[in-house]
Chain A
């Protein structure tokens, strides 16, 4: 009993809990920056650590030591609270994902819980922009809100497609059953394979990466909703964004590809398989980021409401028909 409690505490704080997720976020930031640079024929982080792998940690600590410049008119409590909420939510939802074969928390219906929590976190990011009274912050926040409202619906619907295919609402169960279900009912391959690129696009919109990096439209709005953040606030925001990238890649890997659930008895093999899938998905995210210009907000709204929503509803309808409602 005591041993189980100690193991649980170690799992929560070290692996696959806080420390592990923190280090994984930094690792995935390094991966993103290095890959992005190499795709552009540049070098990327190089000097801090082996091939620059400690660069994000160095950036984090440097930002922690800088002065926080607060605006008088801004609602500083709301900014700090929203930042804390956003970063902690993104770390928390990673507990539901099978990083080490078996997730820390898993219950029937945790898919819906995770989706709701990530919407709340995206809304927190908007709250940061809103509570700053500078025009850059507010316009950036409003653009982010328009994007968030638009991508949430196709994101939900497409996440329900594997849930329906495997007849389960728990991320762990979906991952475990996905390969067997696909092998036994090959008809399900159609909605499964079509929803993968659509889900990737929706993920790209959520992450605000190219071609959807509108809230961070550097040239027009300085930095959108995080213009006035400095010091430890910026460090926390960077951490939140990195954890968001980690979560989104891992989420997509878990519900579409299984991500380590087949090895739920073996943490090490589960971890390796999860990492491989995460890195492949992150590769595609970065590749699209590197080869696209920025769309205007009107184009993005068009794309979301005219194309993504109807097609995701169609895919869900197809999977419902195939499975027999």
Chain B
């Protein structure tokens, strides 16, 4: 039986998309039947750039993979390189890294909540969340020196210390932020119009999510209990000493994904307060060697706001022989494509925003991962063929 399906393109330029990507939705009436993602519009050749720079210079190139989650990339890069060089930062630096990681996670989740409100047409909530995010950006500027590009982690430690006055200011501002976030949580969880747009939309059950390989709050909202901070012991950041809860939700829909992020934001505020109060004293940086030994390998696994981020580096003495980045948005493309199927056109923006796509992170030079990725793809032969065709060009 052949049904007439209309092709609805969400092209590289579209008000819904914040970064260029191309999604082809095949719709039957108002219901989405199939989704084909076309990616790689923002490919900048970062992995190749890293091959021609020393580790000291490469830190800043790796940070520019993504504008929102650049501290995660810096942290993962530093973790990989420190493992390759066989060094460990001082304890105070590990706590400071926790502080900057969590504070950037707050602003990334706030971006997502504001964007979700905007997709729902809730312009006022978008503006108000953006105003409150400005406070976090001021704090980030006070701690690290840059509002968007933090560049705070260095190989062997961190850039600058936090003195007591600054710590007091951070704690005070964050407690005001906590009240605002609780207010936003009330709006997201109780407003009937918001609930009508997000509850029972884009449902992806736990088994499906695990099979397709989702990561981050996107997967945790489908009751997949995995968080790199808790489950991966690493000696470059102090997550084993700072207590926190991993937020999982059972509902598996868009509402759960938004609420999971709001709750994670509250957890971040708690973690920062704990870390600032229990910070050990001492040096903030050790003198790191300028190159890793030839053939040394290092893997850095970090929980970026969108999920698990992996940097893998192999050194050839002075520079990386190969540096490979696997971003969480890439892992989330496949379950996200599945989540659209069966829901109406009106739900497309909400489902799209709920997996928090970050296409700057997405476009890497890949060959190996795609082949193993396509084996998991369920959107049909077409996606497999298209993906292979695109990457082999």
> A residues touching B (Cβ–Cβ < 8 Å)?
39-42, 135, 139, 210-211, 213, 217-220, 222, 290-299
Contact = CB atoms under 8 A, between A and B. Distances in A.
Given A41-B127, A293-B193, A220 B16 contact: yes
Interface in B172-227: 191, 193-194, 196-197
B196 A210 contact: no
B16 A293 contact: no
Nearest to B6: A135
B124 A40 contact: yes
Interface size band for B: 20 to 34
A247 B171 CA distance: 52
A76 B16 CA distance: 27
B194 A293 contact: yes
Nearest to A295: B193
Interface in B274-329: none
A293 B131 contact: no
B117 A293 contact: yes
B191 A293 contact: yes
Contact of A135 (B8, B117, B196, B344): B8
Contact of A294 (B14, B122, B128): B122
Contacts of B193: 211, 292-295
Contacts of A296: 196-197, 344, 346-347
B348 A220 contact: yes
Q: What 6 A-B pairs have minimum CB-CB distances, sorted nearest first?
A: A294-B121, A293-B122, A40-B127, A293-B120, A219-B16, A219-B349
A220 to B, nearest CB: 6
A312 to B, nearest CB: 22
20 contacts: A40-B127, A42-B127, A139-B345, A210-B122, A210-B123, A213-B121, A218-B15, A219-B119, A219-B121, A290-B123, A292-B193, A293-B120, A293-B193, A293-B197, A295-B197, A296-B196, A296-B197, A297-B346, A298-B344, A299-B196
B122 A292 contact: yes
Contacts of A217: 121, 346
A219 B15 contact: yes
Nearest to A210: B121
Contacts of A295: 193, 196-197
Nearest to B117: A293
Contacts of A298: 344, 346
Contacts of A294: 120-122, 193, 197
A219 B345 CA distance: 11
Contacts of A291: 124
Contacts of B197: 293-296
A291 B187 CA distance: 11
B15 A41 contact: no
A211 B124 contact: no
B12 to A, nearest CB: 13
B121 A293 contact: yes
Contacts of B121: 210-211, 213, 217-219, 293-294
A41 B131 CA distance: 8
B199 to A, nearest CB: 12
Contacts of A39: 124
B118 interface: yes
Contacts of B346: 217, 220, 296-298
Nearest to B193: A293
B6 A40 contact: no
A222 B8 CA distance: 12
A293 B124 CA distance: 9
A213 B118 CA distance: 13
Contact of B15 (A42, A222, A290, A293): A222
A98 B124 CA distance: 34
A239 to B, nearest CB: 22
B289 to A, nearest CB: 50
A218 B196 CA distance: 19
Interface in B343-383: 344-349
A222 B14 contact: yes
B128 A220 contact: no
B20 to A, nearest CB: 15
A222 B345 CA distance: 13
Contacts of B196: 295-296, 299
Q: Which of A39, A293, A298, A299 counts the most chain B CB atoms within 10 A?
A: A293
B40 to A, nearest CB: 23
Nearest to A39: B124
Contacts of B128: 40-41
B123 A220 contact: no
